[in-house]
Structure formats: structure tokens, C-alpha cells
Structure 1
Amino acid sequence: MAELLEICDLVTEIRQRHTTVRAVDGVTMSLARGETLGVVGESGCGKTMTALSIVRLLPTGGVIARGSIRLDGEELVGASEARMRAIRGDKIGFVFQDPMTSLNPSKTIGWQIAESMRIHKAASKAVAHKRALEVLDLVQIPAASERLNDYPHQLSGGMRQRVMIAIALANSPELLIADEPTTALDVTIQAQILGLLDELKSTLNMGLILVTHDLGVVAGRADRVMVMYAGRVVESAKTGELFGAMRHPYTFSLFASIPRIGDDRDRVLPSIPGLPPDLANPPSGCRFAERCRFAQDRCHEQDPILAGEAHQFACWFPVDQQIRSVVVTSRERHADRRRGREPLLELKALVKEYDVYAGALRRRVGSVHAVSGIDLTLYQGETIGIVGESGCGKSTLGRMMVGLERPTSGQILYHGEDIANRSSREMRKLRRNFQLMFQDPYASLDPRMRIGAALLEPVKVQHVGSHEAQEARMYTLLDEVGLRHNAVERYPHEFSGGQRQRVGFARALMLEPGLVVADEPVSALDVSIRSQVLNVMRRLQDRYGLTYALISHDLSVVSYLADRIGVMYLGELVELGPADDIFARPAHPYTRGLLRSVPIPDPIIEREKATAGQIIGELPSPLSPPSGCRFHPRCPYASAECATDHPQLRVVSSGHSVSCHHAERVLEDTWELQGLANVASQPRRADASLVAEDSDAR
């Protein structure tokens, strides 16, 4: 069968004033109709640049220096810009990573979908409008006719991503390229989007290229997987074969770095040391050699070529059975961090509402119920994970913990003393005890301020210690988080994402706080960098007795760090209990749905997952939450009682509480989830031995 897409020896360069970066170096690949190819690798490995090369949407200075790209037999390299404009959006659809920056904020959704039809098919306004409605229905947007007149800011993240897919599908393309289509989405919406892409590919017989850094995403969706590193393909095979017998140490290292539900929380997460090489001046030999613990002299001298037929890999010393011995490092086990410890922070009947105004006269039209009656206790030295979809109120709860938001009602007790309504002056003194790790460390650091000044700022504002003591504290923390002392002279833009997150962590610890609220601290990081940051967080917690409130939609991250887990839905706490109990015996349908949506890096498990129990639809508006149980419109267990009677938190086992009328039924049905968890937590196939221990944990 003829291939839909054929790429041969593709070289893409970014030519700058003083240097040339070879972002894609000799990539060869093919894709058939109806096939899904997963392209994985760390940030900067060239996977997105390969996708952009296909549609010739390269950044300033970007050129295709060599190679061939053929779409259905037509050569695209050397094609005129007019011809490429005709192909983009017609034969090739592209789903970008961030829909909010890709959609026009001044145009309605319907106009933006219809635009592609008007340009490529010369469709009339009526025909384009009808097609826009059809593709919105195709991507399963509820009340599609109403959404046509909405603007991007009026839609949720998952809805915006569906709109991006609808735009890409408007002209029934032959090839669809999805670049990190689910990175910033909740696990529930991620599962829906991936399922939708899979269904559309089969229905329309398209070729699909799925670009991602998450091996769990491609495990259940891709027919073949191509692993890229430093601009090159290092391994390529059918999905089942690659996951069953990974041959390149880099592929194994990526796989080993993924925290998974059921993993031993007292062991150090494997991670890949160092960073990918500078592609403006790449090293000789194998580009992964500097980070590979099995590299030998030949690896530094000779560049391995991609060899093999069905399963290709570029390595002089591929992984084999002789070197698959498991080596992991364990910490002292903490069976219960709350044992013998006093409460640090107590939240009692905490409520936060935001008034909503409309019209020229700013008339109040309602309130957003962000947090509704939360009761929660944080103990010294423990980690409590707060999980839930975007919009459930978890970030608002975290901001109230550190005093950045004042509650509408309720109490916040710090060591038994209510601080909810303290004055700004009093809160400034108290705030040194609470610190916040932001989701985006780059946005939270002043780009004009050197790192040294940013680290010293909190202690100078609080007048803590002498200048010499402040600097000593700064350099100690740089050592603790694994950064060199010369980092103090650099600016935020000179660091990688993982390094910036370490800077943010060091800044949070400068005042020696008792509580650190970490709001999605690793959501934007590659899997290996994520493991390094999580190892640092766990190690410093053990050393300084820190209390963490970990806010995340990534349950695998929460499962590694958290001692207890609180599950939030539409401002309410619907389940609370020990992490092991929550993952083994979820008693709320929402918790169970979250767990079933987590992608597991195992093709067999992913493809055997039943759709029953998965959460459908999107979060209702917090402006007018449903009556009774707020989850009942999306709940497979819902009854008439759920629509009228609001369930209260009740104990189902020791330390485990749930707010659900049908908790006993849910507990009886969790055997299927338990089976998946057991498979997922089986001892890893000795992959840990391929990754050097995190340097900070030695």
C-alpha cells in the first residue's frame, strides 16, 4: 500500500546571526492512511520542529536544508508558498499545543471554523456555516449551534481544544498533526480528546501524527512510536514491540522516569542526569552519550546509525537482558507522617465566593462558588494532595492557605489561632511561615532581576538576619536544589524549565516556612525533569520537616508525594483519605473516573481499559452549580436522590471519608480498577538500572 506521508533524510536548520541550530538532523519516516504515529522525546529534541517542517511553518531563520517530504506522492520541499497555503488547512490539518494563543480572541468560534472553508473551498457563507456546525457536532461539543457565536474566552480548555480539532477537520484533511494536544488538560478531558482523535482518525481514514512527551499518551493510541533525541530518531518500532523490548537507553530512561500509581513512594525516582546537548554545537559521537551510564569510548567517538527493519534503533550498546538488573534507592519509610504530630493548619467551614457583575451599571448577577464549606487539617511534616479538574477550586483553596485570598466565611487556624481576617500588616509577618510554589516559574520571576536578587528579596523584605547570613542561606539552598553558585548572576530566561522550578523552590524556602503550597509544580516539565524536581521536593521535606499542600491534576505525581489525598469537585471536598486507600479503594465515582483517565505507559492495559466509569462531559459552571450532589449530572451511579439531597462527608473506613449516597456500590465495583493498578505497579522491567540516580539524592 502506498504511504500517505514519506519523509527522507530531512534536515531543518534555524539560521541565526552568529550560529546555526540544526533542529532536525536526518529524520526519515513514513505514515500510512488510517495509521497513528506517536513522536516522543524531551523538549528541544526536534519533534515539534519535524511537524512544523511538514507544513513549512518554521520560525524566523528556519529553512529546510536537505531532504524530501512527500504527501500522497507530491513533493512539498521546494513547493511555492502559494501551494503550501493551499495544502495547509486543506490536505493537512494542524492542532496546536495552546489553543488560547492559536485562536483569534476577536472572532467567534463559528467564524474561525468557517474561514477555512471559505479560503480553501470558496464556500458560501451559508455552506461554511453549515459545515462549521457539522464539525462541532463531530468533535462532540454540546449545544453546538449555541457555541458558534461564542468567543474563545467563553469556553473551557477542553472545549477550546475541541474547537482547534474542528478547525483542523473542516476540510476533511488527509493528514492530521496534533502537537501536544493534551499537555495542559485535566486527565478526564485528556482522555476524551485522545479518544476523539482516535475515533475521528478511523472514521475519516486519516493519517495521524501525535507529538507528545508522555509515553502513556501514545501507549494506547499509536500504532507505531518514533523516539527523538537531539534532532535525530534514536528508536522506532510498532507500539507493542517498542514497549515490550526497548533497545535504546534513552527510551528506557524516559519510561523509567514516569511516576506511576502504585509505585513505592519511599524510593528515589529514576531520572536522566543533565540536559540535551546544544544543537548549535552538538558533540561528536552519540548525542546521548554524555547522559548515558552505559556509554563507552566508542560512543563518544563514532555516531551510531539507525539500524534494523521492523524495530530500528541507533545505539552501539543496546539494552539487553544482561544489563537489566534493578538498582533503586529507598528512603526511610514513613508509615504515617501524622503520627505524634500536631495540626499545623486547620480549615473550618471555609467558603470563597466571587461576585459577578454585568452591564454598564455593573449590576451584580450572581456569585462564583469557588470553595464551598471545606473542612481540612494539615499536619506537620505531611504531604496532602489536592486533586480535581481545572475550575474545581483547588488553586483558590491553596491561595487562601497562604493568605493571598481572604475567605468569604470560615476559619483558617494556624497552630490553633484564627488568621483568616488578620490585617495586611499582621499577615505580612505571618506569611513567612507559608510559601507558594507557582505553576509557571518563569512568569513568577521578574525577568529583569538576577536570580541572586530574586532569592534574597523575601529575606530582605522580612528583615531576616544579616546580609552575610542571608547570602549564606541562599548558597546553601542552591546546593540543596542542585544549582551551581554562579546561578545568582544569571537571569530567568537563561535557565531551563526544570532549573527555573528549582529556583522557585529555593525562593520559597528562603524564609524557612513550615508550609509550602505547590500549585501544579511540575505540570509543564518533561518526565525526566519532573522526576528530578519531585526527588528534590521529597528529600528537602525529609530534611527540614516541611508540610506540603500539593495541588495537581496529575494523579501519578500526587501518588508519589502525597500521604493523604483530598479530591475536590466544584468547590467541595468529595473524598479525603490516606493515599494508598484512595488509590486502592476509591469510594466516590468522581475519584474513580479520575483514576481511570490516567494514561498508563503500557499498551496492553491502555487498550483493554473499558469506557465504563470514565467521566464524560465537562465541569458545570460554578456560577450555578447543580442542586443536590454537584457531580450527579456526570455520574454513572446517579439516582433521583442525588439530584435533590446534598450528600455530606461520612467515614467509610479508618481516616477515609466520602461525600456520596452510593459509596458502598462504588466500593463494590472497584475490583476492575484494582486489577489495573496491580498490573501498573508490577516491578518495572529493570528499567531503573538504565538511569543514574538523581544526583541530589546521593
Structure 2
Amino acid sequence: MSKLLEVNELSTEIRQRRGVVRAVDGVSLSVERGETLGVVGESGCGKTMTALSIVRLLPAGGVIASGSIKIDGEELVGASEARMRAVRGDRIGVVFQDPMTSLNPSKTIGWQIAESLMIHKAASKSMARKRALEVLELVKIPAAAERLNDFPHQLSGGMRQRVMIAIALANSPELLIADEPTTALDVTIQAQILSLLDELKSTLNMGLILVTHDLGVVAGRADRVMVMYAGRVVESAETGRLFEAMRHPYTFSLFASIPRIGDDRERVLTSIPGLPPDLAHPPKGCRFAERCRFAQDRCHSEDPALVGEEHRYACWFPVNHEIRSAVVASKDRHAARSIGDVPLLELKGLVKEYDIFAGALRRKAGSVHAVSGIDLTLYEGETIGIVGESGCGKSTLGRMMVGLERPTSGQILYKGVDIAMRSSGEMRKLRRNFQLMFQDPYASLDPRMRIGPALLEPVRVQHVGGSRDQEARMYQLLDEVGLRHSAVERYPHEFSGGQRQRVGFARALMLEPGLVVADEPVSALDVSIRSQVLNMMRRLQARYRLTYALISHDLSVVSYLADRIGVMYLGELVELATASDVFSTPAHPYTRGLLRSVPIPDPAIEREKARIGQIVGELPSPLSPPSGCRFHPRCPYASDRCSVDHPELRIVATGHSVACHNAEQVLEDAWELEGLARIIDH
């Protein structure tokens, strides 16, 4: 195979008033036809900036300071903007992280795909539209001909990402750059998108650069992996070699920070302290030294260069198998918790429907069935995980738990008191008992309010204690969540994502609630910051005897925190069991499909999973859910009965309930034969 892309000693600077940020500093890489290069690292480490430099889509003030970028031998550094416009979208395609902000909301899908063809290939409108249909079918969008006339808001997240891939592929590029293409997607859709990229790469013999912070994503997809930190490459190798014998402490720290299904839940997760350095003022010596547990004096004074041939790394004191094993076998344990036997919160027959109105007369046109007949009990000190795809009703259920949504019918009993239909005044008094930890802490904080007043606001609204007691409580919680007292003088935009999540958690605890509903609390965080937040949640749960309702599509996070897990599908609870039972003996086909889709940072397991299959299709509309079992159109076990009879939640083993007509058959099928028992043992 010939070298399709060659990047040598690339340096990109962002010139700002406060100084020059060396966002990419001496990066070299290559990609061959038919090869996938995985680029991993934390936010701010230069992954995306490297990708944007290749196609010269830099932010304001961004310039390529030095280096070489060649596509099939053609030098792009110094090329005119007209030439770069010809290269972008024609020879190099880009799939961006957020398709909704990348697509034009005022233009149809068909027009946006055809536009690229008319610009680069001078195709007529009819020919461009014909090709648009071809690429939509290529990326496996159902009813592709109908989707040509749809607008972006009419599509699901997974389908919008497929449209982005279709636009990137319209001109049959030689190289595809996918920048975090699955970050915001459910595990099932993520698996479909990654499989699609693999298939297209092989079919079209493209080179693929897969930019991600998830080591599980690159484990089963990349031929080679390049790890970046603070604008530099710190390690690169063939994928299997890297995972088997990673040498740089940063690579190992990323790997060790990932919670895995089947991990010892009482063990404190390994985490990377601190944050990446300010690249406007990079430190002397190794840029990772300040955060490295293995750093010595030399690391703070001398900058290591990349060494090695097939396996390259930049470290004075690389880790070996013995060191890695010792860290993984850490004996640090979380404090013991106790779970009560008296219900704290009971949900009985909970239903939530949203009426849809249409026409000038605003007549009712139907109802969205967001939550349909949920029965669930939470006990003091327990963590219950609620999992499922986007649109299955998880967040709606969480909002009803804390009184932010009123149920259409059913009961919500908090310590035996029905809070479902209480007045606003009564709910204000009760709401101090249950708090919500939001997915996006920045959006949930007032950008005009300093952190101090934001933390004090709940206790002042509820008139809890005097001013001195309120401030003492605030500083105590800042200590608990690992923030300095000086944080009270800062605004939300002055904090990192992980720090903002700590602020949000402190604010939730100000009123000493019994229940905290955590809605995707770590989904937007890097793996290193994620482990810090998860450790904090476990520590404070034991200290304050908190009950958590953890809403997430990340099953590895849920497996680490949850005592029991409820699996939701299209508004219904389809399986409920202890975490160990859900992962070792899943009884519902949907639960098995979710587990198959979880990315595991082990190349052997990921390759084995790729042969097993996955959940196909997308979640049906909650406006008109399927009759019978709502999962039957996507279920490999579906029978005629499933399309007619609605399955009720029933007990199949002690503490294990499932809503499936064929649960016994699912349980009889050996989970081990599918190769996924290795995930539990990993």
C-alpha cells in the first residue's frame, strides 16, 4: 500500500492577544489506503486541531507555522485557498462531531449532499440528486428517497450522523477524517456508525483518521493508534501492540481510568490528577510530568523525544508490565455503604404523555408516549441505574422523580407521601429532599452569577439556616468536591467541564437531599475527568447516605455505580435486576443488544464482538409505538405472539424481572458462546 497521507513535523499556532498557543507541536503521522489511524487523548490535547490543520479549517488566529502535509504526494502547506477548497470535500472528506450544528437547518438533506457534487464535480441538479440518493443508500438510511426532502431537525441523531458521512463521501474522497463521530450517540447507534465506517473504508479503499477520546472505540476499529498530549505525539504503535504493552504513563493512565463492566465496584478508580498544561505557556521538560505518578527530576527539566521504530514513545521512564499490573491491582477501596430496607421513593403505574396539536385550530393530533406504566422502588443508600437509548423516556422519568414534570397518571411516593399532584407551594418545600444533577452543568448554571451566590441560592430560597451556617455549608461542600474556596469568586465559564460538574454536584447537595437524580453526569467528560467525578460520587454517597438514580447510556459507568439496573425501551421498563445479573445473565434481547454495543478497550474482544451482530434499526417513534412488544420490530427472538400480545414485567429469577415472552429461550442461549462473557471477566 502506498502512503496516502504524510504529515511531517506539523506545528500549528493560534495567535491570540494573551499569547501564542502552540496547539499542534511537531506532529508527524501517515495513513495508507485502506488503513484506519486512531488519534486519542483528552480534550485540548491537539487531536481535533491536527485534523483541522490537514484540511486547513483553522479557527480565527490559527496558522500552520511549519511542517509538511502531503496528500498522495501533493504538498498542501502553502497551497492557495482555491486549491484547498478543491481538496476539501473532493479528495478529503470530514465528518464533524456535532452533525446538527454542521448541517444547514434551512436546507433539505438532498440539497446539502447535491451541493458538494455541483461544486466539485460540476454535476447537473438531476445527476447530483441521483448521486445523493446513492450515497444515502450507501450509508444505509432507511427510505432514502423520502429522506432527500427531509430537513435535519426531522432526523434522529444517528441518522443525522449518517447524512454527514454521506456528504463527506459524495465525491468519493481518498481520505476520510471522522472527528468524534459517535460521542453524542447511544451505544447501539455508535456501534452501527462505527461498523458503517469500517465497511465503507474497505469498500472504497479509503484512508480513515478516527479522532476520539474513547480507547474502546479505537480498540476494535483502528489499525494503528496515535496518542496525543499537550499538542504532541507521546506514543504510537499498531493497535494490538499498544494495548498489550503501552509504554507511556499518559497512555496507561487513560487506559486505567476507564470503568469496565465486571470491575470491582468497591475499588477506587484510577484517575489523572489536574488538567493538561496551558499551551500558551507550556512547562519545561515533559509536558505530562506534573500529572505523572512516575515522574522524576529529569522529567521536569529535559524534554523527551520519540524513540523506537514500530512502537514509538516519548518518555524517560516508560512503564512496563510489572508497573501496570501493580497500579491496576491498587488496594484503595471506597468506604462501606449500607442500603436500607424501607422504600425511599416508590413509582406506581407512572405514565407521562405529551399531547401533540396541529393545524390553525390547534386540534389534538396524537400523544407522545414518553413513560408508560413504570413501577419502581428505590431504597435509602442505593444506586439504581436507568439505561436505554435516547428517546426511551429515561430523562422524563428522572424529571418526574424530582417533581419537574407532573405525571399523566400514577403515583410518586417519597417516604410514603404522594408528591405527584402536589401544588407548586407544597412542591417547593418538598423539593429540598430530591435534587437533579444535570448532564450539561454549564447550561444549568447562570453565566452572570458567580459560583458563591449560585451555591447559596438553594438554601436561601428554602430559608435553611442563617448566613454563617449557609456559608459554612458551602465551603464544606467545596472541600468535599475538591474545589478551592476561591472558586466562589469565579464565573461558570472560568471552570473546566469536570470542575463545573463538581460545582453542580455541590449545589445539589446544599439542601442535604435524600435522593439525587444524576442525568448523564459524566457523558460529556474525558475518561480521566470521568473517573474523578465517579470516585467523588461514590465517596459522598457513603458519607451522606445518598440515594442515586443514575440515568445513562454508558453501561460501563452504570456497572461501576449501580446496585440495580432498570433497562428502558420506548417508555417501558423491560428488565430490572441487580447489576451483576444484568451483565452476567441478561434476559431481554434488548439488554443483550446494549451489552454487545459497549466499546471495550481490548482489541481481541472488539474483534470478537464484531462477528456477533448488533441491534439494527432505530428507535420507533413514541408517537405511534409498535403494537404488542415494542421491541419486536428489532428483536432477533420475535415471534408472531410478540407483535400482538404486550409482555408484562414478570419474575424469572430472584430479584430479576423481565418483560419478554421469550425470556426463557433468551436465558437458555449460552451467553458464553457469544464471546461476551469475556467482557464480564475482563
TM over 0.5: yes
Residue number in structure 1 paired with 2:481: 481
Residue number in structure 1 paired with 2:331: 328
Deviations 1:390-445 (A, max 9, x none): 00000000000000000000011111111100000000110010100000001111
Cα distance in 1 for residues equivalent to 2:680 and 2:299: 34
TM-superposed deviation, 1:670: 4.3
- Taking only aligned residues, the RMSD between alpha carbons, in angstroms, comes to 1.1
Query: Which letter maps to 1:24?
Result: V
**Unaligned stretches of 5+ in structure 2?**
none
Query: Which letter maps to 2:209?
Result: I
- Aligned to 2:370, the other structure's residue is in SS state strand
Residue number in structure 2 paired with 1:13: 13
Given that 1:97 and 1:181 are in contact with CA atoms closer than 8 Å, whether structure 2 keeps it comes out as yes
Residue number in structure 2 paired with 1:667: 667
Cα distance in 1 for residues equivalent to 2:677 and 2:472: 45
TM-superposed deviation, 1:672: 2.8
Residue number in structure 1 paired with 2:218: 218
Cα distance in 2 for residues equivalent to 1:478 and 1:332: 20
TM-superposed deviation, 1:569: 0.3
Q: 1:225-304 maps to which residues of 2 (within 5 A)?
A: 225-304=225-304
Query: Which letter maps to 1:147?
Result: R
Query: Which letter maps to 2:502?
Result: R
- Residue 643 in 1 paired to residue 643 in 2? yes
TM-superposed deviation, 1:513: 0.3
TM-superposed deviation, 1:363: 1.9
Query: Which letter maps to 1:420?
Result: A
- Aligned to 1:208, the other structure's residue is in SS state strand
Deviations 1:444-471 (A, max 9, x none): 1111110001100111111111011000
Residue number in structure 2 paired with 1:418: 418
TM-superposed deviation, 1:673: 7.0
Query: Which letter maps to 1:459?
Result: V
Residue number in structure 2 paired with 1:499: 499
Deviations 1:97-139 (A, max 9, x none): 0001000000011110111001101110100000000000000
Deviations 1:185-242 (A, max 9, x none): 0000000000000000000000000000000000000000000000000000000000
Residue number in structure 1 paired with 2:191: 191
Cα distance in 2 for residues equivalent to 1:613 and 1:31: 28
TM-superposed deviation, 1:671: 2.1
- Residue 28 in 1 paired to residue 31 in 2? no
Given that 1:570 and 1:630 are in contact with CA atoms closer than 8 Å, whether structure 2 keeps it comes out as yes
Residue number in structure 1 paired with 2:89: 89
TM-superposed deviation, 1:556: 0.2
Cα distance in 2 for residues equivalent to 1:216 and 1:95: 19
Given that 2:261 and 2:679 are in contact with CA atoms closer than 8 Å, whether structure 1 keeps it comes out as no
Given that 2:605 and 2:678 are in contact with CA atoms closer than 8 Å, whether structure 1 keeps it comes out as no
TM-superposed deviation, 1:332: 4.8
Cα distance in 2 for residues equivalent to 1:582 and 1:621: 26
Deviations 1:278-331 (A, max 9, x none): 100000100000011111111111100011110000001111245342323123
Q: 1:64-103 maps to which residues of 2 (within 5 A)?
A: 64-103=64-103
Cα distance in 2 for residues equivalent to 1:674 and 1:156: 30
Cα distance in 1 for residues equivalent to 2:336 and 2:484: 30
- Aligned to 1:609, the other structure's residue is in SS state helix
Cα distance in 1 for residues equivalent to 2:524 and 2:674: 29
Residue number in structure 1 paired with 2:206: 206
TM-superposed deviation, 1:611: 4.4
Residue number in structure 2 paired with 1:51: 51
Cα distance in 2 for residues equivalent to 1:541 and 1:647: 35
Deviations 1:57-112 (A, max 9, x none): 00000000000000011110000111111111110100000001000000011110
**Fraction of identical pairs, as percent:** 84
Cα distance in 2 for residues equivalent to 1:333 and 1:432: 26
Query: Which letter maps to 2:513?
Result: P
TM-superposed deviation, 1:362: 1.6
Query: Which letter maps to 1:606?
Result: E
Query: Which letter maps to 1:526?
Result: D
Residue number in structure 2 paired with 1:685: none
Cα distance in 2 for residues equivalent to 1:306 and 1:359: 65
- Residue 528 in 1 paired to residue 528 in 2? yes
Q: 1:680 to 1:15 in 2, by over 3 A?
A: farther
Residue number in structure 2 paired with 1:382: 382
Residue number in structure 2 paired with 1:597: 597
Given that 1:260 and 1:681 are in contact with CA atoms closer than 8 Å, whether structure 2 keeps it comes out as no
- Aligned to 2:182, the other structure's residue is in SS state coil
What is the TM-score normalised by the length of structure 2?
A: 0.98
TM-superposed deviation, 1:570: 0.3
Cα distance in 1 for residues equivalent to 2:253 and 2:536: 19
Residue number in structure 1 paired with 2:653: 653
Given that 1:442 and 1:492 are in contact with CA atoms closer than 8 Å, whether structure 2 keeps it comes out as yes
- Residue 631 in 1 paired to residue 651 in 2? no
Cα distance in 2 for residues equivalent to 1:166 and 1:344: 49
Given that 1:383 and 1:564 are in contact with CA atoms closer than 8 Å, whether structure 2 keeps it comes out as yes
Cα distance in 2 for residues equivalent to 1:75 and 1:110: 33
Q: 1:419-458 maps to which residues of 2 (within 5 A)?
A: 419-458=419-458
- Aligned to 1:361, the other structure's residue is in SS state coil
TM-superposed deviation, 1:18: 2.8
Given that 2:612 and 2:674 are in contact with CA atoms closer than 8 Å, whether structure 1 keeps it comes out as no
Residue number in structure 2 paired with 1:37: 37
- Aligned to 2:439, the other structure's residue is in SS state coil
Asked which structure has the greater RCO (Cα within 8 Å, sep 6+), the reply is: 1
- Aligned to 1:4, the other structure's residue is in SS state strand
Residue number in structure 1 paired with 2:565: 565
Given that 2:412 and 2:418 are in contact with CA atoms closer than 8 Å, whether structure 1 keeps it comes out as yes
TM-superposed deviation, 1:610: 4.8
Given that 1:585 and 1:670 are in contact with CA atoms closer than 8 Å, whether structure 2 keeps it comes out as no
- Aligned to 1:648, the other structure's residue is in SS state coil
